[in-house]
Amino acid sequence: MSHIVALCGGVGGAKLAFGLAQVLPPQDLTVIVNTGDDFEHLGLHISPDIDTVLYTLAGLADRTRGWGVADESWNFMAALGRLGGETWFNLGDCDLATHVERTRRLHSGETLSQVTAALARALGIGPAIVPMSDDAVRTVVSTTTGEMPFQRYFVAEQCKPVVTALQFAGADAAHLAPTAAAALARSDLGAVIICPSNPWLSIDPILAVPGIAAALAAGSAPVIAVSPLVGGRAIKGPTAKLMTELGLIPGVAAIARHYAGVIDRLVIDGADAADAAALPCPALVTPTVMAGDAERIALARAILKWVL
Amino acid sequence: MSHIVALCGGVGGAKLAFGLAQVLPPQDLTVIVNTGDDFEHLGLHISPDIDTVLYTLAGLADRTRGWGVADESWNFMAALGRLGGETWFNLGDCDLATHVERTRRLHSGETLSQVTAALARALGIGPAIVPMSDDAVRTVVSTTTGEMPFQRYFVAEQCKPVVTALQFAGADAAHLAPTAAAALARSDLGAVIICPSNPWLSIDPILAVPGIAAALAAGSAPVIAVSPLVGGRAIKGPTAKLMTELGLIPGVAAIARHYAGVIDRLVIDGADAADAAALPCPALVTPTVMAGDAERIALARAILKWVL
């Protein structure tokens, strides 16, 4: 069996990572996760995409809200509000344990990779879950109303500002996490799958870490992206709105152009089958909307069957 | 009206502080609280006695458990346990907000006095709640099985080790909190009331802060202690056990001897009326068991009537 590496952001990406985790032996999958959304809040180190991947693969994720854990309670948040604390970023009582434990471990000298591995182990997750880097890379959103950190754009401003550009502060000096670099350098690497996360907000930060683009280009393993757009619309999140603001027509053609030079193939939904022929790379047309576990697993199987 | 200063530890002391807060105008009461029990845990600054006083005066305290807030939930703790985190010290979901907000404010440069005042204000508490010091003073318990920090003795070891001595690390270099010093220096100071907290564990750390003993001795206001023992037994906590380990017969006579040179008068329960005549200072015999709000208020009234 060959090794599979998945590049992953939050919700949509985590769903495919879950599917891959169901069909691959644990030792054959490494999930490299975006940390551009990470931030310090209330003295805690919060890694939203890592948490979404951990909760999703552990079967703990809330399936309707799209973030955090299921059956969450919010008593901490209510009490913090009574004390006049900052409540613009919602932290559930269970979720909070992840941030407190992560922060404690980071302060004790562990790297984000080590902390993430420990959390994954505690949650019974088999595949390797790896931050893209142990160094701080922070997504900064330039908008028509000014520059803002990612979480202000995404949570506080609910993606309403019009985006003009994106920067990944710290990326130039960041190093690919050791486990991520090792996975990409494996001689038995069978494929790199770019999960259906937002290419600009969730995947580009990963690709901005020096060395990863070269590693993808150098390897013989095919790089396959899964389009996060279906029929020109995102399942969740601001992908289509963002593309329009950047002057792009939301659709699989623009996704393929964005990933030009990085990917060898693209996976698109049946809703976009008519666009397949005009794409600059081979495309697999298959259902990509992952409403439940069955669809997640089916998509993972379809991609692996196509690639390996 | 004259100003009243109360010296206070956790549960028992907080009950009398509550009574005093009900019968005195807010501007006429300053509660100086022990911080020898404070500790860093999970990266958070926890001030158990300050929290007990805040929760008690805000009407939020749990009345049966003896610590934390009523109607508390424990989902953070359960999640932390699943992650393999440290769970020996229980932190409720609501309680946690206090520690996170305190820690955030301390890291932003506020003093513990400023943080405590802000929390008290947010909780609608009128009287001034003041830590004994803004500097770190940490109670260290010497036992027959070695030295240990207070919380290890009190929570992890449940007061089981046999105590041989107590130290207040950092006390020599600590400064009395400015608001505490100012309250004790007021020309209209009417009385200093040492609440029925554990004299060795909760009041001695306060008295160990340089300047406070001199301030008590220098002022003309009487210093009145309320015995935490009733009929030789503590209402709650390890006072009697600790006294025996230190070679003392648990009773109001030993309490009076312990506070010799500090107090002018002692308040004792009717159960100890027979010991009143032999005490080295005047005693008020009055019910000191505070089962409910009525008893808290009655004790506060009785003390104030006796003193002012």
Categorize the per-residue pLDDT at A28 as very low, low, confident or very high, splitting at 50, 70 and 90. very high
CB contact under 8 A, A122 and B83: yes
The alpha-carbon gap from B77 to the nearest alpha carbon of chain A, in Å, equals 7
**Segment 193-232 of chain B within 8 Å of chain A by CB:** none
Best mutation target, A54, A75, A89, to test chain B (most B CBs within 10 A)? A75
Region A198-202: mean pLDDT is 96
Whose tokens are 């993606």? That residue is: A159
Residue in B with minimal Cα distance to A123: B83
Q: With contacts defined as CB-CB under 8 Å, which chain A residues touch B101?
A: 42, 80, 83-85
Contact, B231 vs B57, CB < 8 A? no
Q: Give the model's pLDDT for residue B236.
A: 82
Is there a contact between B79 and A95 if contact means CB atoms under 8 Å apart? yes
DSSP calls for chain A? --EEEEEE-SHHHHHHHHHHHHHS-GGGEEEEE--TT-EEETTEEE-HHHHHHHHHHTT-B-TTTSSSBTT---HHHHHHHHTT---SS---HHHHHHHHHHHHHHHTT--HHHHHHHHHHHTT--SEEEESBSS--EEEEEETTEEEEHHIIIIISTT-SPEEEEEEETGGG--B-HHHHHHHT-TTEEEEEE-SS-IIIIIHHHHTSTTHHHHHHHSSS-EEEE-SEETTEESSSSHHHHHHHTT---SHHHHHHHTTTT-SEEEE-GGGGGGGGGSSS-EEE------SHHHHHHHHHHHHHHH-
pLDDT of residue A64: 85
For residue B95, which residues of chain A lie inside 8 Å, CB to CB? Answer: 79
How close A68 gets to chain B, by Cα (Å)? 12
Residue A274 burial (CB < 10 Å; 0-12/13-18/19+)? exposed
Kindly report, residue by residue over B121-153, the tens digit of the pLDDT. Answer: 999 999 999 999 999 999 999 999 999 999 999
Task: Note the pLDDT of residue A65.
Answer: 85
Q: How far is B69 from chain A (nearest CA, A)?
A: 10
Kindly state whether A124 is in contact with chain B, defined as any CB-CB distance less than 8 angstroms: no
C-alpha to C-alpha distance for A133 and B43, rounded to whole angstroms: 23
Query: In sequence order, what are the beta bridge partners of B193?
Result: B6, B224
Residue of chain A nearest B125, judged by CA positions: A83
Q: Which amino acid is at A102?
A: R
Look at residue A219 in the predicted model and tell me its pLDDT.
84
Radius of gyration of chain B from its Cα atoms, rounded to whole angstroms: 18
Within its chain, how far is the Cα of A117 from the centroid? 17
Q: Which residues of A touch B123 (CB under 8 A)?
A: 82-83
Q: Residues of A with CB below 8 A from B110's CB?
A: none
pLDDT band at B219 (very low <50, low <70, confident <90, very high): confident
- Mean pLDDT of the region B207-216: 95
In angstroms, the separation between the Cα of residue A73 and the nearest Cα of chain B is 7
Residue B234 has pLDDT above 80, yes or no: yes
Q: Which B residues, 33 through 52, put their C-beta within 8 Å of a C-beta on chain A?
A: 42-44
Q: Quick check: B69 and B94 in contact, CB under 8 A? A: yes
- Determine if residue B109 is left, alpha or beta; phi over 0 gives left, psi from -120 to 50 gives alpha, anything else beta: left
pLDDT of residue A237: 85
How far CA A55 is from CA of A52, A74, A97, A198, B285, in Å, comes to 5, 17, 12, 19, 60
Average pLDDT of span B150-167:
94
Mean pLDDT, residues A256-270 taken together: 97
- Does A96 lie at the interface with B, CB-CB under 8 angstroms? yes
Domains and CATH numbers, chain A: 3-307 (3.40.50.10680)
- Among B206, B204, B99, B176, which Cα is nearest to A104's? B99
Kindly report the number of other CB atoms within 10 A of residue A39's CB atom. Answer: 20
DSSP A257-270: HHTTTT-SEEEE-G
**Distance (Å, whole) CA A74 – CA A93:** 6
Percent of chain B with pLDDT over 90: 94
What pLDDT was estimated at residue A192?
98
Best of A76, A114, A116, A121 to mutate (most B CBs within 10 Å, chain B): A76
A127 within 8 A of A3, measured Cβ to Cβ: no
B270/B252 Cα distance (integer angstroms): 11
* Spatial distance between the Cα atoms of B28 and A136, rounded to a whole number of angstroms: 51
How far apart are the C-alpha atoms of B166 and B85, rounded to whole Å?
A: 30
Among chain A residues, CA nearest to B92: A76
Which residue, among B94, B108, B114, B119, would best test binding to A if mutated, counting the most A CBs under 10 Å from its CB?
B94
Distance CA(B181)–CA(B174), nearest Å, equals 13
Taken in order A248, A254, A260, A262, is the CA torsion positive or negative? positive
How far apart CA B83 and CA A98 sit, in angstroms, is: 7
Amino acid at B5: V
Rounded Cα gap, residues A9 and A52, in angstroms: 8
Per mean pLDDT, which range of A231-240, B82-91, B116-125 is the poorest? A231-240
CA separation for the pair B266, A32 (Å, rounded): 67
Among candidate residues A66, A68, A4, A9, the one with its CA nearest the CA of residue A34: A9
A84 touches chain B (CB under 8 A): yes
Q: Which residues contact A195 (CB under 8 A, 6 or more apart)?
A: A6, A7, A8, A9, A12, A13, A14, A16, A17, A226
From the list B73, B93, B98, which residue is nearest A83 (CB)?
A: B98
Phi and psi at A203, nearest 5°, equal -95, -40
Q: Do B100 and A73 touch (CB under 8 A)?
A: no
User: How many Å apart are CA A102 and CA A118, to the nearest integer?
Assistant: 9
Question: What digits encode the pLDDT tens for the residues A130-169?
Answer: 999 999 999 999 999 999 999 999 999 999 999 999 999 9
Contacts of A56 (CB under 8 A, 6+ apart): A14, A15, A17, A18
User: Using the beta-carbon criterion (under 8 Å), do B96 and A76 form an inter-chain contact?
Assistant: yes
CB B151 within 8 A of CB B37: yes
Which chain A residues touch B78 with a CB distance below 8 Å? 94
CB A122 within 8 A of CB B83: yes
pLDDT at A63: 86
| Cβ-based neighbours of A48, under 8 Å, separated by 6 or more | A10, A37, A38, A67, A151
**Rounded Cα gap, residues A138 and B157, in angstroms:** 44
Number of H helices, E strands in chain A: 12, 14
The partner residues of B130 in beta bridges, in order of sequence, read: B32
pLDDT digits (tens, 9 = 90+) for B235-293: 888 899 999 999 999 999 999 999 999 999 999 999 999 999 999 999 999 999 999 99
Whether residue A84 and residue B123 make contact (CB cut-off 8 A), yes or no, is: no
From chain A, the residues in CB contact with B91 under 8 A are none
Q: How many helices (H) and strands (E) does chain B have?
A: 12, 14
In eight-state DSSP terms, residue B238 is: S
A107 contacts B82? CB cut-off 8 A: no
Contact residues, chain A, for B75 at CB < 8 Å: 72-73, 75, 92-94
Are B251 and B272 in contact, with CB atoms under 8 Å apart?
yes
**Summary mean pLDDT of chain B:** 96
Comparing CB atoms, the residue among A78, A100, A107 nearest residue B80 is: A100
Measured CA to CA, the distance from residue A208 to residue A195 in angstroms comes to: 16
